[in-house]
Amino acid sequence: MQGLFPEGTLEQVNQKQTLLRTWLACLLLTSLLLVGELDLQSSAVAEDSPGHGSFPLEAAAKPAIGHIAGIKLSIPHKYLLSGVHYRGEEVWTKSKTAPPPRTFDSEIQDFSLLLRQSTLRPIETEQDWADYRAYGRTAFPRPENRWLTMSFYPDWYTANGGKLKAVRDRYMKDEPHWGPFTSKDEKVFGLNHAVSIKREEEKSFYLDADELFYDDITWNTFISCSNYHRAVQPFDPLSFCRHVFVLEELNVVVELDCTKDDLSRWHEFELAIRKIALSFVVK
């Protein structure tokens, strides 16, 4: 069965994920979740994207505009994590030429948003900005000062007909570093549950997923979680989850980074993010 990614790119994606493992580990250990200092200075990033580099944002700042599958979008500055990646342009290298003027004919390849975990609202006040900067500078953020990052991928949607069953299947087939997994009888917060038979010390990498949660009716929601213990005192249990869901109205798959403590709010997150994303649609 075709995977989540377009045919011919899955191996490249797996290689990319392997290269990112070390980076992601450092990211989680320091909680540096792309604070304003992130430097994606390429032509692929919206020319007037704020990147949350300062506060307040300019009152006259233009929204990032473009389209996904012909659906016109206008994304306000306050929601954007860094910018918008437009089709056909490089993200990680700075272009020597200025990007072309953006219109609703500009195709969006992906974009990322930032929301406060407790309120599911973007940076709107000077206090929000100060809180976000403080969050990125500590490995132990206050419970009320956690932030969620999420990315929107149209390619993931079109690659597999807008369903996530193939993602679950890859985990259950005992792919390298993934599982094998066994299904549990009881659902968790309305989602099917499967767990890896590997013990923590048997994982090839401590962030390898060892729990899966998914909706086997719609196949619109899939969450993979990694459970591990901090490598230094107090050696307490930690978790990292990758929450993926289908947003059919925009022909995208949304990827949300969270923790297992957020699991009970999975449906709330999806509803809130859907409402926000649909507010970007230009009729």
Q: Looking at residues 3-16, what average pLDDT do you find?
A: 39
Q: For residue 176, what pLDDT is reported?
A: 58
What stretches of 171-236 adopt beta strand conformation (E)?
181-183, 192-196, 211-214, 221-229
Most confident of 44-58, 173-187, 197-211: 173-187
Q: Looking at residues 77-93, what average pLDDT do you find?
A: 84
Task: Tell me: do 87 and 177 sit in the same domain.
Answer: no
The single-letter code of the amino acid at 166 is: A
Identify the residue whose tokens are 């389209």. 67
Task: Tell me: do 219 and 199 sit in the same domain.
Answer: yes
Task: Tell me: do 106 and 177 sit in the same domain.
Answer: no
The last residue of a domain, from among 152, 178, 207: 152
Task: Flag whether pLDDT at 255 surpasses 70.
Answer: yes
Q: Looking at residues 200-207, what average pLDDT do you find?
A: 59
Task: Tell me: do 100 and 196 sit in the same domain.
Answer: no
pLDDT band at 69 (very low <50, low <70, confident <90, very high): very high
Task: Tell me: do 246 and 183 sit in the same domain.
Answer: yes
Task: Tell me: do 111 and 248 sit in the same domain.
Answer: no
Cα separation of 52 and 37, whole Å? 8
Cα separation of 274 and 262, whole Å? 17
The single-letter code of the amino acid at 181 is: F
Task: Tell me: do 234 and 145 sit in the same domain.
Answer: no
Residue 214 belongs to what domain range?
A: 10-26+155-260
